[in-house]
Amino acid sequence: MLTQEQAVALALTHHPSLRGAQASSRSASAGVTQAQSNYFPALNLSAGGTRTDGAFVFNPSTPIRNQSYNNYTAGLSLQQTLYDFGKTSGRVSASEQLYDASVLDFQSARENVIANVQLSYIGFVQAKRLVRVSEETVAQMEEHLKQAKAFYSVGKRPQFDVTTAEVNLANANVSRIRARNQMRVAKIQLENAIGIYPTTPYDVRDAFDTLAFTISLDSVKLIAVESRSELRSAQARYASTRSLASAAWRQHLPTISLSGAWTWSSFDFPLQSRWVAGATLTVPLFQGFGISSQVEQSEATADVAQASLDVLTESVVLEAEQNYLSLKEAEERIGASAKFVAQAKENLKLAEGRYNSGVGSPIEITDAQINLSNAQITYIQSLSDYNSSLIRLRRAMGVIGR
């Protein structure tokens, strides 16, 4: 027996979309380290050796001489940016905000997996119940066919009743075949949502939970705006674009750096050493309008991110409101459809009584059985819709899996 909680736990372990989201988060974390590397000095070690052999002219008045010699060099250099007026800090802030967005993207992917598993689980339960309704209908049709044949054999009913009962049974069998196939499809959809395809037989708990939802619509929309992972990720990405725009503008400002080197060189060992150190002030006076165009591009990117954030905010609020209204509608349909089932059962009982007493017709039995089947399907659908709407609403609010 596979519970919904077990299905979610398996999906969180095996679903491939989560591995991709985790890889994206690791990439963003590496980007933060890369941006922070500009805070640290750059230390390089170099070494080399050359061999020169050939004819050399040392003086036009002297003959050409063949000369051979070796040259060995080694060096250690250090480069450190002392202050760049916020260029590096702006890039680091942008990278950190992108990392925050990637973490929220992983959370969003996790919530999608949970919601898809729960919805598929509900779909499987619904399909199982529809199969059970179809099997009950077939059993009722078979019983009615036996009854019609018995009445016909003693001359109480015409052949028409038997033929009608056979047609009704054939239709019920077709509906049962369709329901069983839909259950197999629902099972495959559940396995796809989990991310694994088990070879051992299993079943799911055949029950619908109708938990009451008492939060008001205004509170639902407020929670969605504050908690939705996609919205918080978009906010972090917008902040990142603003940090990059600020860092791009700061390229107009100077940079102060420190450099030093210790070298060893000679034609033979031991090598002779020397060192050099200095500070540099770099002021960008004119870069061919490159910096200005980068600033303009960064600001335009930030404006695009702001517009996308506004659109997403409206979409989140709309999604939350739609799912809230769907939940309330399904809640009302549960009560109405339950009464429909009770009335349909009573109507079938009356039709069967009339038929058994000889005053009813097979058409009454057929209509009553169809009404009962439809009432049961409507009730199952309303229960499924309520559970599905509740899952979608919790996903829209950003609180699923918490």
Query: Once rounded to an integer, what is the mean pLDDT over residues 271-285?
Result: 93
pLDDT bracket for residue 337 (50, 70, 90): very high
Q: What is the mean pLDDT of the chain?
A: 92
Q: What is the model's pLDDT at position 206?
A: 83
Is 48 within a domain?
no
Q: Is the pLDDT of residue 205 over 90?
A: no
Which residue, 186, 204, 188, is CA-closest to 196?
Answer: 188
Q: Is residue 50 part of a domain?
A: no
The predicted pLDDT at position 161 comes to 86
**pTM of the predicted model as reported, rounded to 2 decimal places:** 0.86
pLDDT tens digits, residue range 144-169?
899 889 888 888 888 888 898 899 99
Q: How far is CA 26 from the centre of its chain?
A: 17
| 64 lies in some domain | no
Mean pLDDT: which of 83-92, 197-206, 361-370 is highest? Answer: 83-92
Question: How many CA atoms lie within 13 Å of 211's alpha carbon, on the beta-carbon side?
Answer: 8
Q: What CA–CA distance (Å, rounded) separates 130 from 137?
A: 10
Q: CA-CA distance, 237 to 94, in Å (whole number)?
A: 8
Residue 158 has what pLDDT? 85
- pLDDT band of 324, cuts 50, 70, 90: very high
Give pLDDT, residue 53: 86
Q: Please check the confidence at residue 360 and state whether its pLDDT lies above 80.
A: no
Residue 88: both structure tokens together: 């590096």
133 within a domain of the structure (yes/no): yes
Question: Tokens in use for 333?
Answer: 């349909």
Q: Which domain holds residue 140?
A: 4-42+70-397
**Within a domain: 173:** yes
pLDDT digits (tens, 9 = 90+) for 56-66: 776 777 777 78
Q: State the total domains in the chain.
A: 1
The residues, ordered by sequence, that sit 6+ positions from 83 with a Cβ below 8 Å of its Cβ are 255, 256
d(CA 21, CA 108): 9
Instruction: Say what the pLDDT of residue 284 is.
Output: 92
What is the SS3 assignment for 44? strand
Q: Could you tell me if residue 58 is inside a domain?
A: no
Residue 60 lies in a domain: no
Provide the pLDDT for residue 147.
86
Q: What is the pLDDT of residue 59?
A: 73
More confident residue, 236 or 366: 236
CATH number at residue 284: 1.20.1600.10
In this predicted structure, the answer to whether residue 267 has a pLDDT above a threshold of 90 is no
Q: Please tell me the distance from the alpha carbon of residue 256 to that of residue 259, in angstroms, as a whole number.
A: 10
Q: Is residue 62 part of a domain?
A: no
Give phi and psi for 104, each to the nearest 5.
-70, -35
What are the tens digits of pLDDT across the range 108-158? 999 999 999 999 999 999 999 999 999 999 999 998 899 889 888 888 888
Has residue 210 got a pLDDT over 90?
Answer: no
User: How far is the C-alpha of 292 from the C-alpha of 250, rounded, in Å?
Assistant: 10
pLDDT at 48 over 90: yes
